[in-house]
Structure 1
Amino acid sequence: MEKKILLLCAAGMSTSLLVTKMIKAAEEKNIKVKIEACPVEQFNEKVNEFDIFLLGPQVRFKHTDLSNIANEYNKKVEVINMVDYGTMNGAKVLEAALKALNVN
């Protein structure tokens, strides 16, 4: 079953490169995932479409609020590790997301 991961950031720009690197890492490991990015303001309209939401470090202050909403839908919200985000380490971010979803 394909997992759906949405990266949330301030404007949706900085995460687009990370999404590309995560997709490449998933393809290399033959993992079926859908990965997209959008501004954090679109969270409410996307909450039904994705399994996990990854917050860019610049919007991590929204973690509690978004987690409270996501819990109602049985979804997860995680903050992307700042070092992995800064180095655009798609493989590590993908690995962390799949681990949070209990996917090996």
Structure 2
Amino acid sequence: MDKSILIVCETGISAALLVSKMLEAVREHKLDYDIDYAPVSRLEEKISGKDYDVFFITPQVARYQEKISAAIQAATGTIVYIQPEDFQYMNVEKMLGSIAE
């Protein structure tokens, strides 16, 4: 895998749609990205079993920033805060563009 991405969300409902749209874009652009998601409540469990290159943080969980930062402080991945308008309109092209090399 070129990049392993974890989307951190509140409950996972809207993130599931975001993952689906991201996977479409990844296939369309022939990118080698592994995309997964986890609610804040399962973040520590999720990162204990895998290393992620990028953490996309959804706007809904901004209030948990301290908890999220503490959970992933040992991780080496890049943290990207998704802009509310990009999340609202599922602008996956812009999100993925923010991590392109």
TM tier, shorter chain?
0.7 to 0.9
Residue by residue, what CA displacement relative to the aligned partner does 1:30-74 show, whole Å, maximum 9, x if unpaired? 110011222111110122422222111110122243224323222
The alignment's TM-score, normalised by the length of structure 2, stands at 0.84
Secondary structure of the structure 2 residue equivalent to 1:30 = coil
Off by >3 Å, runs of 4+ in structure 1:
none
1:58 paired residue number: 60
The answer as to 2:24 corresponding to 1:24 is yes
Shift of 1:28: 1.3
Report % sequence identity.
31
- Aligned-partner SS, 1:4: strand
RMSD: 1.7
Take 2:78 and 2:11, find their aligned partners in 1: how far apart are those partners?
A: 21
User: Aligned to 1:47, what secondary structure does the other structure show?
Assistant: helix
Aligned counterparts of 1:8 and 1:70: Cα–Cα separation in 2: 11
Quote the offset at 1:75 in angstroms.
2.4
Structure 2: 5+ residue runs without aligned partners? Answer: none
Aligned residues: 99
TM-score with structure 1 length normalisation? 0.82
